[in-house]
Amino acid sequence: MKITRMHGAGGKVMQDLIKEVILSNLEKTSVNGGIGLECLDDASTIPIGDKEIVFTVDGHTVKPIFFPGGDIGRLAVCGTVNDLAVMGAKPLALSLSLILPEGFEIEKLDKIMKSINEACKEADVAVITGDTKISNVDDIIISSAGIGIVDKGKAIRDSGMKDGDAIIVSGNIGEHGLAILLSRERFEFDADIKSDVAPLNKMIEMVLNEGIEVHAMKDPTRGGLANALNEMAEKSGLGIDIYEDKIPISEEVQSMADILGIDPLTVANEGKVVMAVKREDAKRCLEILRKHPLGKNAEIIGYATKEHKGVIMETIVGKRIIDTPIGDPIPRVC
Amino acid sequence: MDFIKIHVKGIVQGVGFRPFVYRIAKENNLKGYVKNMGNYVEIVVGGKKEDIEKFIDDLKSKKPPLSKIDDLKIFKLRDEVNFDDFVILDSEETNKEEEGTIPADVAICDECLKEMMDKNDRRYRYPFIACTNCGPRFTIVEKVPYDRENTSMRDFPLCEECLKEYKNPLDRRFHAQATCCPNCGPKVFLTDENGEVLYEKDEAINEAVKLLEEGKILAVKGIGGTHLVCKVNDDEVVLTLRERLGRPSQPFAVTSKLEYLGLFAEYDDEELETLISPKRPIVVLKKNDDYDRYFSKYVSNLDTIGVMLPYSGLHYLLFDKEIAYVMTSANLPGLPMVKDNGEILKKLKGIADYFLLHNRRIINRCDDSVMKKINNRMIFLRRSRGFAPEPIEVDIENNKNILCVGGELNSIACLVKKNKFYLTQYIGNTSKYETFCYLKDAINNIIKITNTNKIDAVVCDMHPLFNSTKFAEELADKGVELFRIQHHHAHAFSLMGDNNYFDDCVIMALDGVGYGLDGNIWGGEIFAWKNNKMERIGHLEEQYQLGGDLATKYPLRMLLGILYKKICEEAIDIIKEYNFFSEKELKIFALQLKKKINCPITTSCGRVLDAISSLLSVTFEKTYDGEPAIRLEALASEYIKRKRIDIEVSPKIKNNILNTTDLVYDCYEMLKNGIDRGSIAYYAHIYIADGLSRIAIKNAEKLDVECIGLSGGVSYNKIISERIRKNVENCGFKFLYHKNVPNGDGGLSFGQGVGYILMNSQ
Ligand SMILES: [Fe+3]
Ligand SMILES: [Mg+2]
Ligand SMILES: [Zn+2]
Ligand SMILES: [Zn+2]
């Protein structure tokens, strides 16, 4: 069997590849009893003294490399920073590995580096190591590892969701994926859909500093909100009930998705966080999030439940099961 | 004296079988007993040889009308057995995994009806009247054996008089599990929308009739479910019901009495026989010329009307002045029908004005069955009340217990044991969580009432997103063998099983959507069954489904996708004329089609009919399954009625693929040239029917097979399926068509079972 486009779309096909081919070939996947690779969490940890080092890596290719709302440089920084942030860690430093194709314009590289610098300043992280290679790739590839720190035992896991937790999304969903799709295919029209790519660590820090009990956190990137919720449900052994009318979506995204026939729940985000928060803390958490510019559209979209497994969305026409996306949508209606 | 033991299997419970045995034993001077063993009936008799022979003859020839003997085993007993008399013994619970059958619900019988209308009868106007020949069965049963204490009738202990009848072997109500009377049985009551009881018993019924005649919408809890009921001749109330249900155009079924039927519908003997049969399904009839005098035009916008005769006492009591009522399942589109009082009041608040309820629990909900005469045969549009859970037998060898979970739409599951296929009641669209839960309940229930201890294999569709598939995968995780069968293969197998035909053949499977072996969406497929293999030998041309499922909802998208293939950007201008999409949408569609973003590939027959339906301005938005194609058919058949002409078409076929782009484009040209819309609709039907026939016949000749068959949802289309039949038979082939199993996805689980057995037996 060969790798197909379906493998890259996130969701179940990718998960299976990771489990069956990648994980199964590695023997040692954790250190000092920390969170290891096998957890498939957003990042892993290495306990040292009363702290844990939080470690993650992310490779980025995106077409086009400059898109409305950002570029591959900003995406690389935010992707890595956010993986650390949703572990409840304070991001400290990044590595930067650049693979450039022959013929890549140096002005473009300069622009990307300036954008990286800008994003690092926003996130308050340093690039402390790096590597540059020239190879026969199609376009620039940026891979970035990140290191953060968290108090021992305080890392927030995907699996930590508890029965009754409120599920909070920090803002409008579906923007990044649609913006990329539209600019890649050169859809030209007036609706402005921009990528939401942004570092979330400051906003998450505000929430955690206020003592909000966050049981689980994810950034809903590939596979979108649908994928993130399903992972949280599956890893905690619980179900999630969400309400369609509570899910924050901008009008532009909704109408574009309606035209294309794409479910915004399955579209990638790069500047949003999903939290499972102790129910009593949910309102306060929402207030804190909404004070931050990145969280102004935050909503409680539903609750964790032990009544069923999986993710169920209540709509005006009954309850819909929200699946882990499997790549491109497949017609099922007769 | 001889002594013998007889085991009788089949439909022998709840149909007056034991009193019948008692009667014929007495008549033949035999002694002994009859006993219900849960899954079969045991009879032991002693007497003269010739009396016993006569007894066995009677057993076979005089059995009660609702009973059915599948298997009769006779054992000679060596030892003498001493009996003083012939007796009926209590039921015995058996754990043995033997196939047993809970009978389906039966419409009120003539005798009960007569008693109910008799002023001097103690059950005068009592709607729950029942006897061994009639009344609820499946819908009130919790477990086997079918005894009163295993049904929801256990909430109603028999009064003295009823008990006397119940215990008297010569009474029509001997061991009639659903028997009761006004003193001991369930009661009806009428409530307002807040659940406040306004009237009880007969007063409630009288008041309900009055309210209906005044033009109110009532929720009426019946035997196996709940109906929404209103007048048929009042535009306002019919439209109100449509609005409240969010069901803008799907035809409503109506209930009427036999004597009124001829006023508004056409029917032949077979349709009449089906209508009055104890199974009492809805039968889709042709409207007659006077129809409009009695019915609001909002009841059905097709050339047909679904009619059901009353099947319960309550239904009869609702008739006074009106000749018919709208009687539609009380559910929101896609969700299961409501059945519990609290749920009825909650879910139908704002939909019904009043509620006519009763205090008997519905254990298994069971929607009305729907049948239609196509190809000179009564065909199941939906197989449920009156039929479920009685098994369909197939001449096939099998020793496994196979659970088949079906597809997603119009779902019915099926449990196969030996050669018996137990189809569940109609479930519905399992993409909805509530309906998916109902599917699981129905599966658990069919396992329970067939006394099944283990499942050897579970069969599902190949669509990776179907909930039914996920349910099958969960079972597989527990160690059950999992087998996947392609959707249209299952349709073909279903047709073969339904006809007991397993030799090589060619089968067309035509429908709206099914996940294909190549990952594309199939729906216009021709297969050859040869050497135990199903091979795809032809199909409709591949088209782009613009926006995926949205193209099903908005058929103009499908039309655009097809025309774009022929004339590119020009197609946008054609679609623009319909004023349905905004400039922005059209601009994006053009890019979407150019870049093939969310434009899955489909060979669906339904989608082509949809496209033409929108081309002819018949349907721009699908509000129920198959609507664009169904209304296109209505347009075409109205045209045939006007002008009986035979048209010649020359379908374009290349490499066994039927060209649909040119079909659609030609229809567009005809429309532009001012040709009658009805005639274009008819042309499209004939093009598809003749084109597919041609491919099938050519291959059938090449493969030297005798039969050509037709299955799938599109085969409900009378024009297409009757034309294909004519083509096939004219060329000397035998035509395979459905009989006992629904053509559409309701027959999928049955086909999965047949396919599993065929593909695993060699
Ligand atoms: Fe189908
Ligand atoms: Mg996490
Ligand atoms: Zn009766
Ligand atoms: Zn009584």
How far, in Å, CA of B614 to CA of B700, rounded? 34
- Judge whether A130 and A95 are in contact, CB under 8 Å: yes
Report how far residue B509's alpha carbon sits from residue B251's, in angstroms, rounded to the nearest whole number.
26
**Nearest listed ligand to the Cα of residue B166:** 4
Closest CA to B562 of B499, B498, B609, B519: B609
Token pair recorded at residue B496:
């073969």
Give per-residue pLDDT as tens, B416-466: 999 999 999 999 999 999 999 999 999 999 999 998 999 999 999 999 899
Same-domain pairing of B301 and B374: no
Q: Are residues B194 and B182 in the same domain?
A: no
Nearest by CB to residue B600, choosing from A320, A331, A334, is: A331
The CA B277 to ligand 3 mean position distance, Å, reads 14
DSSP symbols for B398-450: --SEEEE---STTB--EEEETTEEEEPPP-B-TTBHHHHHHHHHHHHHHHHHT
- Are residues B688 and B637 located together in one domain of the fold? yes
Q: Give the SS3 label for residue A80.
A: helix
The pLDDT tens digits for B704-726 are 999 999 999 999 999 999 999 99
B517 touches chain A (CB under 8 A): no
Which is nearest to B580 in space by CA: B541, B619, B532? B619
Please, are residues B614 and B551 in contact by the beta-carbon 8 Å criterion? no
pLDDT averaged over every residue in chain B: 94
Q: What's the sign of the alpha-carbon dihedral B204, B210, B213, B216?
A: negative
User: What distance in Å separates the CA atoms of residue A158 and residue A39, rounded to the nearest whole number?
Assistant: 9
Q: What is the pLDDT of residue B580?
A: 98
Residues B491 and B560 in one domain: no
Distance CA B619, CA B612 (A): 9
Question: Which residues on chain A are in Cβ contact (under 8 Å) with B463?
Answer: 330, 332
Give the pLDDT confidence score for residue A15 in this predicted structure.
78
Tell me which residue in B465, B547, B600 faces A260 most closely, judged by beta carbons.
B547
Q: Which residues of B touch A260 (CB under 8 A)?
A: 547, 588, 592, 597-598
A vs B: CB pairs below 8 A: 105
CATH number of the domain within which B268 lies: 3.90.870.40
Q: Worst-scoring range by mean pLDDT, A188-197, B227-236, B246-255? A: A188-197
> Which among B619, B632, B487 is positioned nearest to B553, based on CA atoms?
B619
pLDDT at B16: 81
Residue B642 · residue B606 · CB < 8 Å? no
What stretches in chain A show pLDDT beneath 70?
Answer: 5-6, 8-12, 189-191
CATH code of the domain containing B131: 3.90.870.30
User: For B247, which residue in chain A has the nearest alpha carbon?
Assistant: A317
Choosing among B550, B587, B716, B743, which should be mutated to test the A contact, i.e. which has the most A CBs within 10 A? B550
Calculate the alpha carbon distances from B648 to A208, B602, B663, B686 in Å. Answer: 76, 27, 14, 8
pLDDT in tens, A152-201: 999 999 999 999 999 999 999 999 999 999 998 887 766 689 999 999 99
Which residues of chain B from 695 to 734 reach within 8 Å of chain A, CB to CB? 713
Inspect the interface and report whether the beta carbons of B521 and A191 lie closer than 8 Å: no
Residues of A in contact with B587 (CB under 8 A): 189
Nearest chain B CA: its distance from A237 CA (Å): 15
Is residue B154 a part of any domain in this protein?
A: yes
Q: What is the largest CA-CA distance in chain A?
A: 60
Q: Are strands B41-47 and B68-76 parallel, antiparallel or unpaired?
A: unpaired
Q: Can you say whether residue A255 is alpha, beta or left, with left for phi > 0 and alpha for psi between -120 and 50 degrees?
A: alpha
Q: Which helix (H) or strand (E) holds A13?
A: helix A11-17
Q: CB distance A261–B588 less than 8 Å?
A: no
Contact A123, A270 (CB under 8 A): no
Last residue of a domain, one of B186, B209, B231: B186
What pLDDT does residue B400 have? 96
- The domains of chain A, with CATH numbers, are 31-151 (3.30.1330.10), 166-322 (3.90.650.10)
Token representation of residue B486:
């392609």
The rounded distance, in Å, linking the Cα atoms of B280 and B536 is 39
Check: CB of residue B266 under 8 Å from CB of residue B275: no
Q: Kindly state the tokens that stand for A229.
A: 């919720």
pLDDT at B88 over 70: yes
Kindly state whether residue B94 falls inside one of the protein's structural domains. Answer: no
Residue B480 lies in a domain: yes
- Give yes or no: residues B660 and B569 share one domain: yes
Q: Is B51 on the interface with A (CB under 8 A)?
A: no
Say what percent of chain A tops pLDDT 90.
Answer: 86
B-chain residues near A317 (CB < 8 A): 246, 332-335
In the reported structure, the alpha carbon of residue A146 is separated from the centroid of ligand 4 by a whole-number distance in angstroms of 79
Tell me the CA–centroid distance for residue B493 and ligand 1, in Å.
Answer: 12
Backbone φ and ψ for B667, nearest 5 degrees, come out as -60, -40
Identity of the residue in A181, A191, A330 whose CB atom sits nearest the CB atom of B464: A330
Sign of the alpha-carbon torsion through A13, A16, A17, A18: positive
Instruction: Give the pLDDT score at A11.
Output: 60
Q: Are residues B347 and B380 in the same domain?
A: no
Q: Which of A322-331, B526-535, B581-590 has the lowest mean pLDDT?
A: A322-331
Q: What is the identity of the amino acid at B164?
A: K
User: Given an 8 Å threshold on Cβ–Cβ distance, is A329 in contact with B598?
Assistant: yes
How far is residue A287's CA from residue A55's CA, in Å, rounded to a whole number?
30
Query: Do B144 and B449 touch, CB atoms closer than 8 A?
Result: yes
Close Cβ partners of A63 (under 8 Å, ≥ 6 residues apart): A139, A180, A184
Q: Which of B332, B587, B598 is facing A261, going by the closest CB pair?
A: B598
Query: What's the pLDDT at B734?
Result: 98
Annotated catalytic sites of B, by residue? 18, 36
C-beta atoms of A317 and B334 within 8 A: yes
The two tokens of residue A184 are 């890649």
Dist. CA B424 → ligand 2 center (Å): 43
Closest chain A CA to residue B592: A260
- Give B592's contacts in chain A (Cβ within 8 Å): 259-260
| Cα-to-centroid distance, B166 and ligand 4 (Å) | 10
Tell me B712's DSSP state: S
Query: Do B556 and B648 fall into the same domain?
Result: yes
Q: Note the pLDDT tens digit of each residue in B650-661.
A: 999 999 999 999
As a 3-state breakdown, chain A gives helix, strand, coil percent values, each rounded to 5, of: 35, 25, 35
- Which member of B410, B464, B606 has the closest CB to residue A326? B464
Q: Which ligand is nearest to the CA of A219?
A: 2
pLDDT at site A9: 62
Q: Do B311 and B415 share a domain, yes or no?
A: no
* Burial classification of residue B702, based on how many CB atoms lie within 10 Å of its CB (0-12 exposed, 13-18 middle, 19 or more buried): exposed
**Of chain B residues 396-425, which have a CB less than 8 A from chain A?**
408-410
DSSP β-ladder status, B414-417 and B354-358: unpaired
Q: Which of B88, B114, B137 is the last residue of a domain?
A: B88
B627 reaches A (C-beta below 8 A): no
> Ligand 3 centroid vs A135 CA: distance in angstroms?
85
In this prediction, residues B333-351 reach a mean pLDDT of: 93
A313 → chain B, closest CA residue: B433
Per-residue pLDDT, A190: 60
Cα–Cα distance for residue pair B108/B224, rounded to 1 Å: 14
Give the ipTM of the model, two decimals please: 0.91
Domain count, chain B: 5
Residue B552 and residue B630 in one domain:
yes
Q: Which helix (H) or strand (E) holds A126?
A: strand A126-135
Q: Ligand 1 mean position to B745 CA, how many Å? A: 5
- Asked if residue B753 is part of any domain, the answer here is yes
Whichever domain contains B460, its CATH number is 3.30.420.360
Confidence of residue B94 (pLDDT cuts 50, 70, 90): low
Nearest chain B alpha carbon to A323 = B465
- Is residue B696 within 8 A of residue B508, CB to CB? The reply is yes
Determine the structural domain holding residue B726 and report its residue range. Answer: 543-736
Q: Is B64 on the interface with A (CB under 8 A)?
A: no
* Contact partners, residue B507, CB within 8 Å, separation at least 6: B491, B492, B495, B496, B526, B527, B529, B708, B709, B710, B711, B736
Please indicate, yes or no, whether residues B353 and B376 belong to a single structural domain of this protein. Answer: no
DSSP per-residue string spanning A223-277:
THHHHHHHHHHHHHT-EEEEEGGGS---HHHHHHHHHHT--GGGS--SS--EEEE
- The reply to whether residue B465 touches residue A320, judged by beta carbons under 8 angstroms, is no
Of the pLDDT bands very low, low, confident and very high (cuts 50, 70, 90), residue B38 is confident
Q: Please state the pTM of the whole predicted model.
A: 0.93
User: Does B560 touch chain A if contact means CB atoms closer than 8 Å?
Assistant: no
CB contact under 8 A, A321 and B515: no
Q: Determine whether the interchain pair B552/A334 forms a contact, defined as Cβ–Cβ distance below 8 Å.
A: yes
Which among B165, B186, B207 is the end of a domain? B186
Residue of A nearest to B467 (CA): A321
pLDDT at B648: 85
Which pair of tokens denotes residue A12?
A: 């179940």
Residue B696 lies in a domain: yes
pLDDT of residue B646: 76
The token duo for A124 is 């308050």
CATH of the domain at B72: 3.30.70.100
Which ligand gives the minimal distance to the CA of B64?
3
Q: Mean of the pLDDT values across residues B166-176?
A: 89
Residue B732 in any domain: the answer is yes
Task: Select the residue from B247, B408, B433 to test the A interface by mutation, using most A Cβ atoms within 10 A.
Answer: B433
Distance from CA of B757 to the nearest CA of A (A): 26
| B688 and B557 together in one domain | yes
Structure token pair of residue B281: 């399904």
A319, A331, A334 member nearest B433 (Cβ) = A319
First to last CA, chain A: 31
Q: Which residues pair with B735 in a beta bridge?
A: B708
pLDDT at B98: 54
Decide if B537 is inside a domain.
Answer: no
pLDDT at A192: 81
Ligand nearest to the CA of B160: 4
Q: Please compute Rg for chain A using Cα positions.
A: 19
Do B589 and B710 fall within a single domain?
A: yes
Residue B415 lies in a domain: yes
Hunting for tokens 């300043």 — which residue is that? A121
E strand intervals along B646-740: 653-654, 657-658, 707-711, 734-736
User: Cβ separation of B513 and A261 shorter than 8 Å?
Assistant: no
Antiparallel, parallel or unpaired: β B505-515 and B521-530: antiparallel
Spacing, Cα B107 to ligand 4 middle (Å): 20
